[in-house]
């Protein structure tokens, strides 16, 4: 194999276009409480794990240990039994940080809820 095939293609997007928003569910907040700091983000559909890692490191000034991604499919929801609509599909990334690093945005939003 040539070296060109082994290199993954980088997206030509800024880090702020790759990371769309943090996911603040109860499960995502509980993942943040342990020794390994795990944060959940909605990300661009075409972003690879390497793109997500670089974007998180640039935006939040942290070191990323591991990135897991999940494609969430489109779902059909019903409103008042008759009206049907579709929730959009999206890509979710679970980012694990190295020890000693944390992201303050999620901590501040949890304090506002209390």
Output the pLDDT for position 67.
Answer: 96
What percent of the chain stands above pLDDT 90? 49
If 0-12 CB within 10 Å is exposed, 13-18 middle and 19+ buried, where does residue 91 land? Answer: middle
pTM of the entire predicted model: 0.78
Q: For residue 4, is it within any domain?
A: no
Q: Domain with 47 in it: what CATH number?
A: 3.30.70.330
Quick one: tokens of 106?
A: 């999620």
User: In this predicted model, what pLDDT tens digit does every residue of 7-24 receive, in sequence order?
Assistant: 656 668 899 999 999 998
Position with higher pLDDT, 19 vs 79: 19
**Domain count across the chain:** 1
Compute the average pLDDT of residues 49-77: 93
Query: Which candidate, 113, 90, 18, 112, places its Cα nearest to that of 60?
Result: 18
Q: What is the mean pLDDT of residues 47-74?
A: 94
Q: Which domain holds residue 48?
A: 12-113
Cβ-based neighbour number of residue 66 at 10 Å: 13
Q: Residue holding tokens 């993954």?
A: 8
């Amino acid at each position: 194999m040539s070296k060109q095939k082994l290199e993954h293609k980088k997206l030509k997007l800024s880090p702020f276009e790759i990371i769309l928003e943090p996911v603040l569910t109860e499960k995502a907040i509980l993942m943040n409480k342990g020794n390994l700091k795990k944060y959940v983000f909605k990300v661009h559909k075409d972003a690879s794990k390497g793109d997500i890692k670089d974007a998180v490191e640039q935006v939040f000034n942290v070191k990323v240990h591991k990135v897991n991604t999940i494609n969430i499919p489109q779902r059909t929801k019903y409103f008042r039994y008759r009206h049907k609509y579709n929730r959009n599909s999206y890509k979710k990334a679970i980012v694990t940080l190295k020890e000693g690093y944390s992201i303050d945005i999620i901590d501040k939003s949890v304090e506002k809820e209390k």
